[in-house]
Amino acid sequence: MSAASPYVIAVHDLMHKAGAMREYKLDIVVPEALGDDFINVPAGVDLDLDLRLESVHEGILATGEVFADADGECSRCLDPLTVPVEVDFQELFAYSLTNEDEFVVTDEQIDLEQVIRDAVVLSLPFKPVCRKNCLGLCPDCGLKMAENPHHVHEAPVDSRFAALQSFTQKEE
């Protein structure tokens, strides 16, 4: 854990005090993008975080809600789009490591980066679309079908019949 990470929260005043609780409203500047090439919360954007930390017998229970805007492009028409992100999470940070999958309180701090990253990335749409009925692009010429929904192309001649075209050209 790096002290410079915006995801690290000090919990020394909650440790081993079962029942103690603190609530935070934080703005975290995202150091690196959360998501993939189609859609992500870009680096430098503020995540609004409502966080509740509770001391329990096993460790620190972190419950939160993350709000942000993800930018990307429509998977059908490639127009830019913005998707609001609103996701909840809850994770226990144990005092001691008993399982490799657990998060642990280290140096009286918890690091929320992986918890927030997992929650945000899993809430992003797999194939984002600008609107439910987006028609996408024409597969032949790339025209946006929304601009001309009745757009058609001449049917291509099957290559197996290409030799027959010479007969029709001779008759003309």
If residue 166 lies in a helix (H) or strand (E), which one and from where to where?
A: helix 165-171
User: What pLDDT, on a 0 to 100 scale, did the predictor assign at position 11?
Assistant: 92
Two structure tokens written together for 109: 């701090």
User: What pLDDT, on a 0 to 100 scale, did the predictor assign at position 2?
Assistant: 46
Residue 169 pLDDT class (50, 70, 90 cuts) = low
Two structure tokens written together for 157: 């001649």
Q: Give the pLDDT confidence of 111-149 residue by residue, as tens digits.
A: 999 999 999 999 999 999 999 998 888 888 888 888 887
Q: Give the pLDDT confidence of 22-72 residue by residue, as tens digits.
A: 999 999 999 999 998 889 999 999 999 999 999 998 899 999 999 999 999
Query: How far, rounded to the nearest angstrom, does the alpha carbon of residue 57 sit from its chain's CA centroid?
Result: 33
Instruction: Give the alpha-carbon dihedral of 22, 25, 31, 34, to 10 degrees.
Output: 100
- Mean pLDDT of the 77-99 span: 90
The angle formed by the CA atoms of residues 14, 19 and 22, to the nearest 5 degrees, is: 50
CA atoms of 147 and 158, how far apart (whole Å): 29
Which residues partner with 35 through β-bridges? 40
Distances (CA, A) of 118 to 20, 57, 71, 84: 27, 25, 17, 16
